[in-house]
Amino acid sequence: MFTAKPVSRFLVRHPMMMNKMGKQCISEMMKQQQQQHAKFSTNMISSFLSDSADIEAIDKHTRIQAFKDFLNKDNKISITKEEFLRLAQEKIKISREEAETLLQQFGSAADVLLLPENETLKDLVILKPNLITNRLLQHLNADIVEQEVEMRKDRLLQLEKELIPLRRVKEDCDKLAAKSVNRLLWGGFVYLVTQASILAKMTWIDYGWDVVEPITYFVTFSTATLGYIYFNFLKRDYSYEHATEILLHKKRLKFYKQVNFNFEKYQELVKEYNFIVSQIEANIKLVYGTVPLKCEELLHAIKEQALKEYQEGKQSSL
């Protein structure tokens, strides 16, 4: 086995052998570099071709999407197949075979509607299938909606007849409650004016500020205490608006109780009435897209009929 030192001595003593080995090493290194360069060039070309294919596919997809948007913006509902193929060839820059394939793909994705089994429509491409479908649904569901309205009309009429006397009683009680709360509010105003007048008289006429100052402190402190009690019970900061609403609600309940007005029953009837009306409006909107005036006219007619029957029944009872 040779060691490094004897080998180096051997090469020094035999320079021709050293030149020969050096040439072999250089040749081997150049060969390896050429192989690496060829491999790098091959990878770079493959990557470039792959990127080019991806760019071409993206560009084609963009042109197809633009063509689809062009068809959607068109005011026409349908065009012939030949016109579709021609437009596809012009807009997307594809062959006729590719355009035919694209047409079938559009049909499968429901972007267009194709009717190959219909002799009259087999050569047409319907560009707005949703519009056609909605019109068919409107035509088919119109009768169903009218039947449902007629079915619910009797219940609405009955509810309206029950609500008429309850509404009148409620309105009377609400007016009395509003007047009572209004009197309380004016009473509070009178109290504040009276308090200010008494404190002013005590300050400038009777005693002076040295005596009245502790009194005003306790008046202010009492007001803050009342505000804290208000918050502690209602879990809400004191405000005139909120206090008025609470007073009005309590007064209403008080007057309802005095006239034996069943407020819970009234709420249930109103809730059922509004629910039926919302269902009718939702069904009509589903068919027509909006709630037409016909629905409002129907509700108005029901109210008038219920009022008329209520008045007739009241007169007959007298």
Residue 234 has pLDDT above 90, yes or no: no
Classify residue 149 by burial, with Cβ atoms within 10 Å: 0-12, 13-18, 19+. Answer: middle
Domains observed in the chain: 53-127 (1.10.10), 141-206+240-316 (no CATH)
Q: What percent of the chain has pLDDT over 70?
A: 72
CA dihedral 105, 108, 109, 113 (to 10 degrees): 100
Report pLDDT digits (tens) over 125-137.
777 777 766 666 6
Report the half-sphere exposure of 254 (CA within 13 A, side-chain side). Answer: 12
The secondary structure element, H or E, covering residue 145 is helix 129-201
Confidence of residue 12 (pLDDT cuts 50, 70, 90): very low
Which pLDDT score, from 0 to 100, does residue 268 have? 92
C-alpha to C-alpha distance for 52 and 50, rounded to whole angstroms = 5
Classify residue 156 by burial, with Cβ atoms within 10 Å: 0-12, 13-18, 19+. Answer: buried
Which pLDDT score, from 0 to 100, does residue 301 have? 83
Report residue 8: phi and psi, to 5°. -65, -40
Residue 306 has pLDDT above 90, yes or no: no
Residue partners of 15: CB distance under 8 A and separation at least 6: none
Confidence of residue 95 (pLDDT cuts 50, 70, 90): confident
The total of other beta-carbon atoms located within 10 Å of residue 124's CB is: 19
Which pLDDT score, from 0 to 100, does residue 37 have? 47
Q: Name residue 269's amino acid.
A: L
Which pLDDT score, from 0 to 100, does residue 246 have? 86
